[in-house]
Amino acid sequence: MRDPLTAANRCMVSPARIAEVLASVKTVYGATQSRAEALEEQAQEAEDAKLAEAAEAGGEAAPEPPDCQGQNHHVISRPIAEVLKDHPTLSGLYEPRDERFVARAKDQESHCGYQKWHREVDLEVMKWLRRERRATPEEFMAKLREIYSRKDMRKRFPNGFGPAT
């Protein structure tokens, strides 16, 4: 014979209370999941920053020449190229310091060596690449063009970027 009472009735819990408890569980689970995702993102950002710092320390990113008058800026830096190597859709399409993507700096102040703004741009691009795992080459180029069309970047590189001349 079937028990006519539901589990909620046997426990003397109202359906409203059950819904309330389930909502609380979902909220706690969501907060825990969001926290875990935030921690993972922080760890990845720290790893990306170390990669950029290592490139700078090793003189790999863009060493400062003694007579720097405004360098050619390679949009695909070595740290960005490292992330591109493992990208599911963009791997193999770009080289470190790829000559197809170069911007000529207006002057020495705009670009000489691996300056703070350069590291910040690299980190932004690296973060975007990690987030956009299905990005197409067109979407990647659109992201780069968006960055290099910003007011502060146009001041540094008035002609944008393209193949080295």
SS (H, E, C) 9-40: HHCCCCHHHHHHHHHHHHHHHHHHHHHHHHHH
Residues 6+ apart with CB under 8 A from 100: 162, 163, 164
Model confidence at 68, pLDDT cuts 50, 70, 90, reads low
Model confidence at 70, pLDDT cuts 50, 70, 90, reads low
Q: What is the pLDDT of residue 71?
A: 75
> What's the rounded mean pLDDT across residues 94-112?
86
Question: What pTM was computed for the model?
Answer: 0.62
DSSP-assigned beta bridge partners for residue 102: 74, 162
DSSP summary character for residue 71? P
Asked if residue 153 has pLDDT above 90, the reply is: yes
Percentage of the chain beyond pLDDT 90 is 38
Integer Cα distance of 32 and 41 in angstroms:
14
> What's the rounded mean pLDDT across residues 128-137?
97
The angle formed by the CA atoms of residues 112, 113 and 116, to the nearest 5 degrees, is 95
Burial of 79 (0-12, 13-18, 19+ CB in 10 A): buried
pLDDT tens digit sequence for 33-59: 677 777 777 766 777 666 666 655 555
Integer Cα distance of 61 and 116 in angstroms:
12
